[in-house]
Chain A
Amino acid sequence: MQRLRIHYAKRGRLRFSSHRDFQRALERALRRAQVPMAYSAGFSPHPKISYANSAPTGVASEAEYVEIGVTVECDPDRMRAALDEALPPGLDVVEVVQARTPDFVQRLEASSWQFEVPGVSLDALARCVEALLAAPEVEVERLTKQGLRRFDARVAVVSMQAVGAQDAPLTSAAADCAILTGVVRHVTPSVRPDDVLAALRRVADLVPPVPPRVTRLAQGPLNPVTATVGDPFAPDRSA
């Protein structure tokens, strides 16, 4: 069985798809693209697909990852093209590599995020960032299936900056927004973009008039010195 790792993006209005929505769309796209999927044995066989760390519903992403198993050897570049064609526009396949190394999921140590914050000046946003970074600990609440959970969101934040729209990492960012970028470590319980915003509200009363548009820019190994997120496919390429 050959294993392939797929890097895809969730863009535009498709950011409103949930993880389950993506799972169904991917499985159907794999069938339309005639990918020779490996199936699990047993009473109700299902295709071998492993999902990792999907971005929350409503959050766009340039860096989502999934791994599949196939029974006949496939060409990664042709797979990228065929799968991109079979998926709806907005679920875009960026790159496919053959899996040559173990422990892919463990390599996804942190994510970098972009928040487009409307109705808030760059100066005001910069002060919010300062307040957050100065706080040793910021407790936030989230309603989970197990009930209301309280946890520290600050501990996961590695770096954070406020920049003008012209300096946004993504050119698609709205021109009239201040931009927040940051690197957040993957911890348990996970600290999601919503939790980061809750932390900013907690320490600096940041309450944008409409919900900020959030995009995951990258996820991968964390370089603690530069506070940057690396390419998780690098070991597969060089192996």
Chain B
Amino acid sequence: MNRTLPAQSGASVFDRLELLLPLVSKPIQYVGGELNATLKEWESTVVRWAIMYPDAYEVGAPNQGVQILYEVLNERDDVLAERTYAVWPDLEALMREHSVPQFTVDGHRAVGDFDVFGLSFSTELGYTNMLTAIDLAGLPLLAVDRDETHPIIVAGGHAAFNPEPIADIIDAAVLGDGEEAVLLITDIVRTWKQGGRPGGREGLLLELARTGVIYVPQFYDVTYLEDGRIQRVAPNRPDVPWRVRKHTLMDLDAWPYPKAPLVPLAETVHERMSVEIFRGCTRGCRFCQAGMITRPVRERSITGIAAMVEAGLQKTGYEEVGLLSLSSADHSEIADIARNLADRYEDTQTSLSLPSTRVDAFNVDLANELSRNGRRSGLTFAPEGGSERMRRVINKMVNEEDLIRTVTTAYAAGWRSVKLYFMCGLPTETDDDILQIATLAREVIKAGRSATGRNDIRCTVSIGGFVPKPHTPFQWAAQLDHESTDARLFKLRDAIRADRQYGKAIGLRYHDGKPGIVEGLLSRGDRRVGKVIVQAWRDGARFDGWSEHFSYERWMLAASKAFAEESVDVDWFTIRERERAEVLPWDHLDSGLDAEWLWEDWQASLDEVAVEDCRWTPCFDCGVCDQMETEIQVGPTGVTNLPMPAMPARPPVLA
């Protein structure tokens, strides 16, 4: 087939887009021009990436994953990377009317002109926004309908650990850390392009699949048993491996990205700079997919962190720095990091924050240190389980005494409000486990009042429905149906309201159970769920992570249409418990976790038995380090005092 396409020119579509911008809300989000953005000449590069965070700009622009890959790719001379985000329905309608394609915000080039269209999925709820982008880009929705004039579509991010629901849409998926993976893909695409595109599109995809670390769904066939379960997932090409491994980046100090964080003009959900202080977590919380799939723990050193904070602040002008990780207070050098950074920035109107999640008095000390001269408005802790029994089930070992002691310390140090995060619908949970949250919140207020002698302290309980995720011990668990989730949350609400003495000091925030069912379907679904996604999108599903755009009824209607000929339904994928022998849709995707270990941990959970953290106790054989040839990388480095940064030169603006 020899088609002449106007595509691949890399020409800017801004002139056409510009005419639409006066007609849409918040037009600045489509304009680009962020500080520290990179704009390269199209012709001077060989491999070109369009990277998408499939949500609105205000959510996507601060995303660390996209910022890191954008910079890693653009550092290569012959590689060009630009960013694209989901457009709101008002602009989508105008773009369709005026034939403006999905565009990047850097060069305003058509996404269809690029070699690779990479999407980072933090959540499955971005799948419908991916379809909008593919469609607006003028590309066929399904991989089989695309040819070598189209970009290859690559999915990454946590949701890519089970990309089966979008297996017919994407061309490839990458599991794990993206820094080295995008460079590997770039090398393969470059060789393929420069070699005259041998084998066409399939030739390129085969080269990617043969690496063993890039998953190309179309080279795997799935067969099913009569009862609907998967019989087998097998490669359908020679030398395509049976299992695809995840990527693990070692030595974070060698990868200090983003070196120059993007500073958008538009307002975003995170008006601060972030520095990732470590990757991975081995606390072993059984509900937590992030903790399971990002093992082992790899720390950035205290000197590496300080250098990134200093360089980033100079390049951005941000007033706040967040020290990011899955559980920041667990860094082996965190006390020295907090003290040193607090010293450095004490007189500069720069504030530091730690997304602290563990219930630990030590966390309060850290928070106090970081807010030396700032305001102490609110602290957040995540006990996750309402009762002590529940916390043994999920392996989040916090006893009530510790929790009360921690919040008392916080209130006594001047914090006025404490926020507590919980989940509803965890395995084996009963009404009683959830009602204990009300008791706990009451004790928190009581302790706070007696510690401070004040009545103006508050506690906010935030609770959401639990969604079982692949590659966790709860991957076999039944999800709680949304009616039961809602009923339990209402009981909790009533219990808090009925508390005359303390109820007014307790705030409750909860989300109803319906979105969780759709997320559950997309999280643990297999290839048959793909038809539901396409149907829901055709019926108008967009921005499913936004309550004002999400419609449970639309998804259920789409599912009933798409599953009409199948022996499975939404309940089968969500509220059904799986047995050990069942082939799970993601079994051929290797996160390093040993299936036997996961199963034993699931059984231990049902027996309410906790496990320790392998950073401080001997290895308990989860399988990751052996399987992936990785190792735990933690300090302390021995450096406890950082030199103060050199006095800045005399500001050039002075008279």
Contacts and interface: CB of A to CB of B under 8 A. Distances in A.
A82 B316 CA distance: 15
Nearest to A214: B22
A14 B317 contact: no
A32 B348 CA distance: 12
A7 B345 CA distance: 31
B38 to A, nearest CB: 14
Nearest to B21: A16
B652 interface: yes
Contacts of B619: none
B27 A21 contact: no
Contacts of A78: 652-655
A36 B265 CA distance: 23
Given A14-B33, A43-B375, A21 B267 contact: yes
Counting chain A CB atoms within 10 Å of each CB, the highest count among B19, B265, B375 belongs to: B265
Contacts of A81: 652
Contact of A16 (B31, B35, B349): B31
A57 B26 CA distance: 9
A145 interface: no
B267 to A, nearest CB: 6
Nearest to B33: A88
Contacts, number: 95
Interface residues of A, number: 40
Contact of A73 (B267, B648, B654): B654
Nearest to B649: A34
A109 B375 CA distance: 41
A160 interface: no
B316 A34 contact: no
A73 B31 contact: no
A211 B28 contact: no
B317 A21 contact: no
B22 A17 contact: no
B572 interface: no
Contacts of A89: 33
B18 interface: yes
A211 B319 contact: no
B267 A31 contact: no
Nearest to A85: B652
Contacts of B7: none
A28 interface: yes
A234 interface: no
Nearest to A80: B653
A200 interface: no
B655 A210 contact: no
Nearest to A59: B22
Contacts of B654: 36, 72-75, 78
A58 interface: yes
A79 B653 contact: yes
A14 B31 contact: yes
A75 B319 contact: no
B291 to A, nearest CB: 34
Interface string A19-39: 011001101111111111001
B267 A211 contact: no
Contacts of B316: 28, 32
Interface string B37-51: 000000000000000
A57 B24 CA distance: 11
A127 B32 CA distance: 39
B651 A44 contact: no
Contacts of A31: 317-319
B375 A13 contact: no
Given A13-B18, A36-B654, A74-B655, A88 B35 contact: yes
B22 A58 contact: yes
A4 to B, nearest CB: 9
Nearest to B29: A16
B215 interface: no
Contact of B267 (A20, A27, A36): A20
A13 B30 CA distance: 10
Given A31-B317, A39-B349, A82-B653, 8 more contacts: A14-B33, A16-B27, A17-B28, A27-B317, A29-B317, A36-B654, A78-B652, A88-B35
The 5 closest A-B pairs by CB, nearest first: A28-B317, A34-B651, A31-B317, A16-B27, A32-B317
11 contacts: A13-B18, A16-B31, A24-B267, A28-B35, A34-B651, A34-B652, A34-B653, A36-B654, A75-B653, A78-B652, A89-B33
